[in-house]
Amino acid sequence: MIDDYIPITWLNDYIFCPYSIYLHNVYANVDEKNYHEVVQTVGKANHSSVDKQNYSTKKSDIIGIDVYCEKYGLSGKIDIFHQDKMLLVERKTLVKTIYDGYRYQLYAQYFGLIEGGYTVEKLCIHSLKDNKRYEIEIPNGEWLEKFEKVVENVRNYSPDVLEIIPNINKCRFCIYRNLCDKTEYRE
């Protein structure tokens, strides 16, 4: 059932801080202006051309479609799939580091497209500000095992069971830091 699917974005959120998934759901009905910062607002604006499916007019480009992965119980949207190149692209505002969460989001999209009957041979993360692309290998071996473990952890996550150890380097960039009861970091 689709209601039981894990949103693909939660994979990145979980890697950043599992508690952010809980806080996201607590504040789901609160106006984002109350906690979004410039970074999130810019990210949302950058994503609007994908959401509106007007990023490209090329017939072979598939933009912003919903994907579902039955095997892992995941659902979400892709950014861009260039069918002619068999290339799946996840766009980020500015990439300085390829975080595991970025990689796992891309893997989830990949598996959704594969289950949907598409042929995907290449994956990349595209940094919009500096127009750089970072190739990501097709999931297998150790990366596949790590991905599957994260999916399992997200599926079994409970905020009252997992001990959250605040990481000041992450907390200071968290949109929920001023609302979070797990950190002392405030602005």
pLDDT in tens, 114-142: 999 999 999 999 999 999 999 999 999 99
In a domain, 132, yes or no: no
In a domain, 89, yes or no: no
10 Å Cβ neighbour count for 6? 20
Whether 121 contacts 114, CB under 8 Å: no
Q: How many domains does the chain have?
A: 1
In a domain, 106, yes or no: yes
Specify the higher pLDDT residue, 153 or 4. Answer: 153
Query: First CA to last CA across the chain, in angstroms?
Result: 41
Nearest to 82 by CA among 133, 122, 139: 122
> What is the predicted pLDDT for the residue at 55?
57
Q: What angle do CA 15, 17, 23 make, to 5 degrees?
A: 130
Is residue 176's pLDDT more than 90?
Answer: no
pLDDT in tens, 143-160: 999 999 999 999 998 877
Is residue 44's pLDDT more than 50?
Answer: no
Nearest to 84 by CA among 52, 47, 56, 106: 56
In a domain, 163, yes or no: yes
- Residue 165 phi, psi dihedral angles, 5° rounding: -105, 105
In a domain, 156, yes or no: yes
* All residues at 6 or more sequence positions from 44 whose CB lies less than 8 Å from its CB, including other chains: 36
Structural domain range at position 10: 2-79+97-121+138-171
Specify the higher pLDDT residue, 125 or 163. Answer: 125
